[in-house]
Structure 1
Amino acid sequence: METAQSRQQAAPSAFTAFTRFVFCGGGVGLASSFAVAALASWLPWAFANALVTVVSTLLATELHARFTFGAGGRATWRQHAQSAGSAAAAYAVTCVAMLVLHQLVAAPGAVLEQVVYLSASALAGIARFVVLRLVVFARNRSQAAATVSTARPVQAVVARASATTDPAVLCCAA
């Protein structure tokens, strides 16, 4: 049976990961912008945005785990929770941007709303990429923790070996 570590691929470079992030996250974000616009004709805009944000975050997190950051499998619950935190911040940014737009322009058209929404989403997306790469899908943190917890200090092995003179014990001490 294949373990999670054996499925794990090599981490892509920052440029490759960002390109994949833009492709996956941007594709989901673009589809989301149309979904929000469609739902906003039936529901209040903030509720439509919240609903679409939840669904798109789940989808994007799975895509990022499998493809963008090369985690080698499905996203864990921890990764979904951390991703949801960054998505909540992105949701707040898009809501504030739209509220500001509606304060500045009495009746903005659909094109202007899309431009403002997508611009706010792009800015939030850049910050989200950094959080996902350095925190949510970071590899060094878990590997470093495993290495630290299993490593034996060299001084202890040397001190124990030098404290005895029996050759049989010296052979087996290390």
Structure 2
Amino acid sequence: METARSQQQTAPGAFLAFARFALCGGGVGIASSFAITALAAWMPWSLANAAITVVSTLLATELHARFTFGAGGRATRSQHAQSAGSAAAAYAVTCLAMLLLHQLVATPGAVLEQIVYLSASALAGVARFAVLRLVVFARNHAQTQKPQNPQQPPRRHAVAGAAQGGLISRSESVEVTLAS
């Protein structure tokens, strides 16, 4: 059983989480931009963007659950669904940016399209980070810190094995929240 304290310690701070988010999400985003360019040669850009958005959202949500926000494992269906909402907003932002580009420039080159797409993705990514950190993955940490029944306080146990192994002092107790 994990303690509430150990789960709190595994959750990274805002700066570290953002750095991880940028690494994971940025890596997926850059790969996505190349994939969209390739797919757009065979289908309309908005359809290619939709397909890549679905695949990249699934991949990025798993990476964020496992690595970025320290959720401790695979993303749940609920987290995927919530993440999909923020991805839908990001899809709308990138589509709008590309629509505006094509309204302003008759035949933009691939480099300009990449600059506009990645800029729109970066803007949407900052908003998506806030949603994922404050809503989607924050709920896991809040649930493990609060007892299942708010009227019943968490049960506390001294962990003798950890004390004997030198992990904690014999006088320390470790708070363990047990699911009822």
TM-score, normalised to structure 2, is 0.78
Size of the alignment, in residue pairs? 151
Give 4+ residue runs of structure 1 displaced > 6 Å after superposition: none
Q: Which runs of 5+ in 1 are unaligned?
A: 154-174
Asked if the contact 1:17/1:69 (under 8 Å) is kept, the reply is yes
Distance 2:133 2:5 in 1: 20
Which whole-Å CA distance do the structure 2 matches of 1:142 and 1:129 have between them? 20
SS in 1 for 2:10: coil
Aligned counterpart, 1:114: 114
* 1:84 to 2:87 alignment: no
Q: Structure 2 CA distance, aligned partners of 1:73 and 1:7?
A: 14
Question: How many percent of aligned residue pairs carry the same amino acid?
Answer: 73
- Structure 2 counterpart of 1:98: 98
Structure 1: which amino acid aligns with 2:147? Answer: T
Q: Normalized per residue, which structure has more helix?
A: 1
Q: Distance in 2 between matches of 1:95 and 1:149?
A: 45
Residue 83 (structure 1) shift: 0.2
Aligned-residue offset at 1:142? 1.9
Matching residue of 2:142: 141
CA RMSD of aligned residues (A): 2.2
Q: Can you give the 5+ residue segments of structure 2 that lack an aligned partner in the other structure? A: 154-180
Partners in 2 of 1:12 and 1:106 — Cα distance?
45
Q: Specify the alignment match of 1:169 in structure 2.
A: none
Higher-Rg member (1/2) = 1
CA distance in 1 between partners of 2:87 and 2:64 (Å): 13
State the match for 1:31 in structure 2.
31
**Whole-angstrom distance in 2 between the partners of 1:80 and 1:130:** 16
Matches within 5 A, 1:1-174: 8=7, 10-138=10-138, 139-143=140-144, 146-147=146-147, 149-152=149-152
SS of the residue aligned with 2:73? coil
Judge which range, 6-15 or 24-33, deviates more.
6-15
Q: Deviations over 1:103-157 (max 9, x none)?
A: 000000000000000000000000000000000000443235x43724348xxxx
Change in 2 beyond 3 A, CA 1:7/1:49:
farther
Whole-angstrom CA distance in 1 between matches of 2:11 and 2:151? 24
- Which structure has more relative contact order (CA 8 Å, sep 6+)? It is 2
TM-superposed deviation, 1:10? 1.7
